Structure 1
Amino acid sequence: MPALPGPGLVPERAPAARAADARRLLARDGAVILTGWESTEDALFTAAAGVLGSRLRQLFPPRLRRAADAGPVHLHADSFDLLVDIGGVPVRHRDPDEDHVLIQCVRAPGSGGRSFLADAYRFADDCRADDPELWEFLTGTDVDLYGAWSPDLRGLPATPRVARHVEYTRTGRRIVRRAEGAVPLHRDPATAHVRAMLDRFGKTVRALEDGLPRFTLAEGEILLLDNYRCWHGREAHTGDRAVRILTLRTTDAR
C-alpha cells in the first residue's frame, strides 16, 4: 500500500485462508480487512484466533450495534472500563487497555456510512512538530479517561482511571488514546488548562476527518485494528446498519 499524506489509512484485504498475510499487513499498517467470512458471531473469534494466535490473552463479550438513519461516529480508539457482577462474581466486560478490535459488517446501510481510519502514531509524530504544546499535553498530562461518563453509567468503576493520552506498555508498544470521556483530574490545579487542551485535541482530530480516505466493508468482512495505533470512525448514513464488535487483549497489551 503506498503511503498516504498525513495520517490517512486505507487497509488492504486478506482472505480468510491467508492468516499469515493478514498478520503481516496488521503489523505493517495497523489495520487489515479480512475477507471470505460468514456474517456470524463465531467468525470474529475464529478470525481473531487465526491472525493473533497464541498472543491472545483475554476476549470480551461481542457487541451487536444496530443503527438507523444515524449521524457520524467521529475518530476514536475503543476503550472502556466496565466491570459487572454476575452471581456475586466480578466479570470484566470491557477494559481500558484493549489493544485490538474486530468490526464485522452485518448489514450495510442504504447510503453513506463509509468508514475512515487515521494512523494515530503518525498523528502524534506530526503533532510534535506542528503543535508542541498539544504534544506536551498528550504525552505529559494525566487525565481521568472516563470521568465525563462515570456519574451516569452503572458498572463504570467509581475509582478514576488515570492515564495519559500517549503512553507506552512495559513491552514498548506505544498507545495513542482518543475518547470522548476524558476530563481533568479531581481538583487538578491546572483544570482550566487541561480543559482547554482537551478541547484543542478534539478539534484538531475532528478537523482531520474530512480529508481522510473512505472505504466500505461488504457483508461479512471484518476490519481488524491495532487499537493502540489506529483511530476509526464512519460517516452518517441512511437506512439500517449493523456491525458486530469484538475487543480483546494480547500478550502485548498494557
Structure 2
Amino acid sequence: MTDSGRQLQLSHPEGDLTLEALWLRERSPDDATLDSLTGQRLIEAADLPLDLRLSEAQLDGDTLSLAFSDGHAVSVSSSALLAECRAPQAYQGMTFWKGALAQLPEADFAAALDDDAALLDMLEQLQRFGFVRVSGVPDHEDGMQSLIHRIGPLRRTNWGGIADVKSVANAYDLTMTQRGLEPHTDNPYRDPIPGYIWLHCLRNAAQGGDSTLVDGFSAAEHLRREDPEAFACLTEVSPGFRYHDATTRLESEGPLIELDSRGQVARVRFSNRTERVPALPSATLRRYYAARQAFYRLIAGDDFTLHLKLAPGQMLIMDNYRLFHGRSAFQLEGGIRHMRQGYVDRDSTASRRLLLADQLADQLSGQPDNQEEVTA
C-alpha cells in the first residue's frame, strides 16, 4: 500500500500497477456491492468517502484480500484485476488494407445461417476488414433477412426496413439515379448513424455499376502520418449533414475523422451530397477545405480503392463507421441493376460476435485461463 493506504501497488511480469482504493472498492465483487445475477452495482459509488483508504491488503496465490477504511472487506482475483487494467490493443482485431487487397473476406450464406462457427467467422472477418462478401443469398427481395435475424434487429428508417436501390423516375435521393457515387458513408445526418450496411444484389446486368470500397481507417491513419495538420483539422471541425424530402427532416453533425478517448480513429464520415459546412471564420474554413481536399484525394485515389462488381445472389456487409463505399455510373440499356439494402446497428452485431466467441471457446475448452503471479 502507498499514499497512506489510498493506493495499492501490484507487481507482475508486465510491470508495476498502481490502483486507487476507491476504484478497488466500487468494483468489489461481493454480493453486497454487485448483484449476483446481473453483475450490476448495488451501491452508489458517489456515496463512497473520497478519502477512502485500504487498511489491509494480503495476497495468497491469486486471491487478494482487501479491507477498507469504511469497514468493507472483500477477496478478489488479482489476475482478473490485471486483465481489466491492461490497455486494449490498438485497433484490436482489425487489419488495415488498401485497394490491392489480395483476397476478399468471403462467407457463405447457408453456412452462416445454420452454423455458429461459420457465423462467427463471418462476423470476425467483418470486424477485421470492415466488410465481407456473402455468396448464396436467396434470390428474392427479402433474401438476406433471415441472416439479419441471426445477428440483430433490422434498423428501420424513413425508407422502411429493406429498401430498393435502383434507378427510378423523380428520384428522392441520388442513390436512386444512374450517376456514379463518390466514396461516402451512409446517413451521417442520422443520430445514431446506422452501423452496418447490408447490400444484396438481385440483378446487375447494367453496363457499369461496379462497387468501390475504401478502408477509411487506413486512409485516416495515412493522413495522420503524411499530413498531421490536415488530420488534426478534420478531427476538430464538425460540419453539418442534412437530408430533407417531402416527409423527412434529418440533420446532424460530426467531424470527418472522429477519435476515441485514446486518440484512435473511431468513425469516419464523408457525404458530399449531404454535407453543409457552417459559415465558420475564414481561416478555419480555408484550413478545413484544404484538409478535406487532401483526405478526399486519398479516398478517391486508386491506391486505396477496391473495385468489385456484385453478382446476383451476392451481398456486401459493410461497416458504415469505417468504410467508404461508392459506385461507378451505369447505363440501363445493357440490362437491369437492382439492389436491396438494409441496416443493422453496431451494438447487436458486436454483441453477437463476442457471445459466439465466448460460447465456442467454452465448447472447445473447459479449462480456466492460466493465472499470473502477483505480489502486493
How far, CA to CA, are the matches of 2:260 and 2:148 in structure 1?
Answer: 21
Distance 2:304 2:215 in 1: 13
Q: C-alpha deviations, 1:109-131, integer Å up to 9, x for none?
A: 33222212111110010000112
Secondary structure of residue in 1 paired with 2:234: helix
* Mapping for residues 92-103 of structure 1, pairs under 5 Å: 95-103=191-199
The residue aligned with 1:235 is 328
Instruction: Determine whether 1:165 maps to 2:261.
Output: no
Following superposition, the deviation at residue 7 of structure 1 comes to 5.5
CA drift at 1:75:
0.9
Structure 2 equivalent of residue 177 of structure 1: 269
Equivalent-residue separation in structure 1 for 2:304 and 2:217 (angstroms): 17
Give the share of equivalent positions with the same residue, in percent: 22
After TM superposition, the structure 1 = structure 2 runs for residues 120-135 of structure 1, keeping only pairs within 5 Å, are: 120-135=216-231
Q: Give matches, 1:5-44, under 5 Å.
A: 6=98, 9=101, 11-16=104-109, 17-18=111-112, 19-44=119-144
Compute the TM-score of the two structures, normalised by the length of structure 1.
Answer: 0.76
| 1:203–1:153 distance in 2 versus 1, CA, 3 Å | farther
Kindly provide the amino acid, as one letter, of the partner of residue 252 in structure 2.
R
Q: Which amino acid aligns with 1:247?
A: Y
AA aligned to 1:175 is R
CA 4–80 in structure 1, closer or farther in 2 if over 3 Å, else same? closer
User: Separation in 1 of the partners of 2:254 and 2:192?
Assistant: 10
Q: Which has the larger radius of gyration?
A: 2
Greater shift in the superposed pair: 242-251 or 186-195:
186-195
TM-score scaled to structure 2, two decimals?
A: 0.53
Indicate conservation of the 8 Å contact 2:257/2:265, yes or no: no
**1:1-254 to 2 correspondence within 5 Å?**
6=98, 9=101, 11-16=104-109, 17-18=111-112, 19-50=119-150, 53-54=151-152, 56=153, 58-60=155-157, 61=160, 62-67=162-167, 70-81=178-189, 95-146=191-242, 155-157=248-250, 161-168=252-259, 174-180=266-272, 181-188=274-281, 190-206=284-300, 208-209=301-302, 212-239=305-332, 240-251=336-347
Give the C-alpha shift of residue 37 in structure 1.
1.3
SS in 2 for 1:228: coil
Q: 1:48 to 1:169 in 2, by over 3 A?
A: farther
The answer to whether the Cα contact below 8 Å between 2:220 and 2:295 also exists between their aligned partners in 1 is no
The total of aligned residue pairs comes to 230
**How far has the Cα of 1:41 moved from its partner?**
3.3
How far does the alpha carbon of each residue in 1:121-152 deviate from its partner, in whole angstroms, 9 at most, with x for none? 10010000112222112211121123xx55x7
CA 1:231/1:153 → structure 2, altered by over 3 Å: closer, same or farther? farther
User: Once superposed, what is the RMSD of the aligned Cα atoms?
Assistant: 3.2
Residue 211 and residue 230 in structure 1: after superposition, are their counterparts in 2 closer, same or farther (change >3 A)? closer
Q: 1:252 to 1:177 in 2, by over 3 A?
A: farther
Report if aligned partners of 1:117, 1:231 keep a CA contact under 8 Å in 2.
Answer: yes
For structure 2, which runs of at least 5 residues remain unmatched after alignment?
A: 1-94, 113-118, 169-176, 350-376
| Bigger RCO of structures 1 and 2 (CA < 8 A, at least 6 apart) | 1
Q: Which runs of 5+ in 1 are unaligned?
A: 82-93
